[in-house]
Amino acid sequence: MSNKFNNLYGFDEYILNTKERNLWRKNELVPLSTKVFDTLFMLVERHGQVVEKEEMLTTIWEDTFVEENNLSQKISILRKTFGKDKNFIETVPRKGFRFVEEVKVLSDADVENIYKTFQVSEKKTNSLKIENANNSKPTENTYFFQRRPLLLTLSVIVLISLSLVGYNYYNTQKITSNKTIVPEIKALTDTGNIQFPTISPNGNSLAYVKNDNPNLFIKDLLTGNKTEVRIDEELVPGFTQFSPDGNYLYFRTRKRRTELADVYRVSTYGGSAELIIKDAWGLFEVSPDGSQIAYIKQNQEQKRYDLIIKNIYSKTEKVLISKNYPQTFFWEDSPSWSADGKRIMLIQLYTPKSSGKLLVIDVERKEEQILEFEAIKAIRQSHWLPSSNELLLIATTQKATEQIFRVDFPSGKISKITNDLKKYRELSVSKDGKKVVARSHNIYANIWYLPEGDIKRKKQITEGTQGIAGLFGISWTPSNKIVHYQFGGNESQIRIVDPTDKSGRILAKNLNGVSQYPKVTPDGKTVFFQSSEKGKVKIKSVNIENEKAEILHPQKNQIELYPVISPDGEWVYYIEQNKNISAISRQSLTENKKETIFKQAEFSPSSFLAISPNGKYLAFNYQKNKKKQETKAENVGVKVGFIDLENNFKLKTLEVSASRPYIQFTNGGKTFDYIGFNSKNTSKIFRRDLAEDSEPTIIAEIEKEKFYYFSWSKDEKDLAVSIGNNPTDAILFELN
């Protein structure tokens, strides 16, 4: 029986699409989370049979800590979804569950008849067919295993730069301080929590999202009125863009930009959202005529990034260009179309050796040109102006960080638009090019000392609102001194400070890169840290007494990240990466011995390492390639992998609702602490044990600011915390 829809099951008035992983009731999409869908899929696929609980737990949750009540909760959700009068799922005592409703595998004709019966509009029927007629292999929703956490920090992007050969560069003029365009500037928001602002083509409306709200908002710039765009599906919008006619909003579900996410389109009045792209990496942009969309697709197996142009109406795709690792694209920049639709521009990276050059591609001929600007140190974002002969850049120079520049194309003549202490992100331009919107931000962080972990007794250790202290690392010596990351001006430092009198000194400094994530050895004599210089990222150490620095592996070329020291001082654990592997290794500190303890093709350890005080567990930010996708974007936090160092490196995982990929073990390794999601201007540190369903308790809480990093003293009596904020608002620049 022909079935081009690939695994469509029909029961009662429902259609279960197992390829697209969704459930339809008549013409309505029924939102289901990943685990609820997996539970239903397993039951429907084996309808009429008893599916044992143990098999379901093992299959659906795999290697995760989980108890039987997790499965019971998913069954309960399904029963509520179907309603009390639809007894589709039968409980078989002491065994499992059985789907008792009649199920049919649907053919093309079956689907046509069903939708005629449901009186679905021709538009919706055709949409369903087109989405499911694509027989290409689904893209896996995962971080690319080559993901470089170093690129996630402002410091690296600002400080690392390496010239390239082999391309036909444009030689451009230096920026002159007396050439500045003075625009009219207006703050469009003042709440300090705005993300992804975008201006409408006519320049009269602003769309944006908020950090603490799952919905889209539109502000009328003429009247000041604000409206909330309500979406029928349980979707949380992130990066947003107006359609060229201003009638729709395209948005990427709110996830980390280096994580795969889906792109949808919804009317500016709200309602049902249409899926446009599945598994986009980074950001996207719609073509000027509204018919195409450009985005990056990630091929993890082949270590490749493809710039894709997709026809929004026919759903057809073509690869414009491809880049193989270590070449890639900057995750924070979106492909930008020229006004005539003939060129696409984006930032190309040469991971991890360069902070980026502008890559311009002729869409028709697929010819590539590299733009390099002598006076610009790093480019964060790029955008065409309507004339197609001018560009806007958010860039860093030797004297300024993240300012907006106007560039003539192809001459390369540069003019400043902004020249202030603020930093800018997320450019958006009206159709006539006269109105430019950007998001302003100014992150700051200081170290605070909390005796006995008491937030009411907190004492500020570092000063100022321009530097970022502790943002990327805090550690303690056995004598209760604090070692921390510090960045201010153009210098990255590892510092040591006494919290009782605030006296301190620099242990290591870095003018040409970034040094971060310090860890003190148990004897208190040495600090290990991650350091980058001239494109090389290595583990270094510095002697606290004489400040003598050494490189752990000076002769090796692989990237080394996130050092931690075993409690007995025997091993330094770290993540190593090159174009072939991503693994957790350890180096003996007493003898010439190195070994890899975790390396699997489908896993990507990244973003942090933490070791329990008893030496039993090594934790890391766990990433697993998944073929099954979740259509709903949630603040699910991070998945933490726990390697049992005493039991053949056996791995277990936990889902943790953490806003930052970092934990610290406490109570000798029985519990761990993490920073939770901000809500209602409140930031919290939580503690929980290693059981799947354990309830977290609040350890510390602060209002109107954020916890960025924390570390308990060796005896777990005192707490050092990096506290700061990053107020963000939409700013309008009116150009002449």
Q: Which residues contact 264 (CB under 8 A, 6 or more apart)?
A: 235, 237, 250, 251, 253, 273, 274, 275, 276
Q: Are residues 449 and 332 in the same domain?
A: no
Q: Are residues 492 and 454 in the same domain?
A: yes
Residue numbers of the domain that contains 574: 444-729
Q: Are residues 713 and 686 in the same domain?
A: yes
- Section 523-543 average pLDDT: 90
607-654: pLDDT as tens digits: 799 999 999 999 999 876 444 334 343 445 788 999 999 999 999 999
How many angstroms separate the Cα of 46 from the Cα of each of 33, 546, 723?
20, 68, 52
Looking at per-residue pLDDT, the higher value among 93 and 572 belongs to 572
- Choose among 484, 480, 460, 440: nearest CA to 723: 460
Q: How far apart are CA 84 and CA 86, in angstroms?
A: 6
Q: How far apart are CA 386 and CA 92, in angstroms?
A: 65
Q: Are residues 500 and 639 in the same domain?
A: yes
Q: Are residues 725 and 689 in the same domain?
A: yes
On whether residue 367 sits in a domain, the answer given is yes
On whether residue 228 sits in a domain, the answer given is yes
- Section 176-182 average pLDDT: 51
Looking at per-residue pLDDT, the higher value among 200 and 557 belongs to 200
pLDDT band at 61 (very low <50, low <70, confident <90, very high): confident
- Residue 96 token pair: 């499992």
- Residue ending a domain, choose from 133, 165, 189: 133
CB 724 within 8 A of CB 446: yes
Count structural domains, the chain: 3
663-689: pLDDT as tens digits: 999 999 999 999 987 666 789 999 999
Looking at per-residue pLDDT, the higher value among 439 and 630 belongs to 439
Residue 152 is predicted with a pLDDT of 30
Q: Are residues 274 and 303 in the same domain?
A: yes
Q: Which of 10-19, 146-155, 396-405 has the lowest mean pLDDT?
A: 146-155
Residue 182 is predicted with a pLDDT of 66
Displacement of CA 523 from its chain's centroid (Å):
36
Strands (E), 211-288: 213-220, 226-229, 237-242, 248-253, 261-267, 274-286
- Residue 502 token pair: 């605030």
- Section 579-596 average pLDDT: 89
Looking at per-residue pLDDT, the higher value among 501 and 607 belongs to 501
pLDDT band at 156 (very low <50, low <70, confident <90, very high): very low
What DSSP designation does 696 have? P
- Residue ending a domain, choose from 133, 168, 184: 133
Q: What is the pTM of this model?
A: 0.63
Q: How far apart are CA 603 and CA 622, in angstroms?
A: 7
Q: Are residues 290 and 322 in the same domain?
A: yes
Q: Are residues 117 and 169 in the same domain?
A: no
Q: Are residues 57 and 190 in the same domain?
A: no
On whether residue 140 sits in a domain, the answer given is no
At 722, the amino acid letter reads: S
On whether residue 238 sits in a domain, the answer given is yes
Q: Residue 224 maps to which CATH number?
A: 2.120.10.30
Looking at per-residue pLDDT, the higher value among 636 and 661 belongs to 661
- Residue 343 token pair: 């060129």
- Residue ending a domain, choose from 416, 441, 466: 441
Q: Does the pLDDT value for residue 336 go beyond 50?
A: yes
Mean residue pLDDT across the chain: 82
The label of the residue with tokens 């002969």 reads 389
| Three-state secondary structure readout of 349-418 | EECCCCCCEEEEEECCCCCEEEECCCCEEEEEEEEECCCCCEEEEEEEECCCCCEEEEEECCCCCEEECC
On whether residue 479 sits in a domain, the answer given is yes
What DSSP designation does 426 have? E
Looking at per-residue pLDDT, the higher value among 150 and 525 belongs to 525
Q: Are residues 376 and 489 in the same domain?
A: no
- Section 348-367 average pLDDT: 76
Q: Are residues 450 and 587 in the same domain?
A: yes
Q: Residue 12 maps to which CATH number?
A: 1.10.10.10
246-259: pLDDT as tens digits: 999 999 998 878 78
CB 592 within 8 A of CB 608: no
Q: Which DSSP helix (H) or strand (E) runs through 427?
A: strand 423-429
Helix-then-strand count for the chain, H and E: 6, 57
On whether residue 213 sits in a domain, the answer given is yes
Q: Are residues 540 and 652 in the same domain?
A: yes
pLDDT band at 394 (very low <50, low <70, confident <90, very high): very high
Residue 80 is predicted with a pLDDT of 85
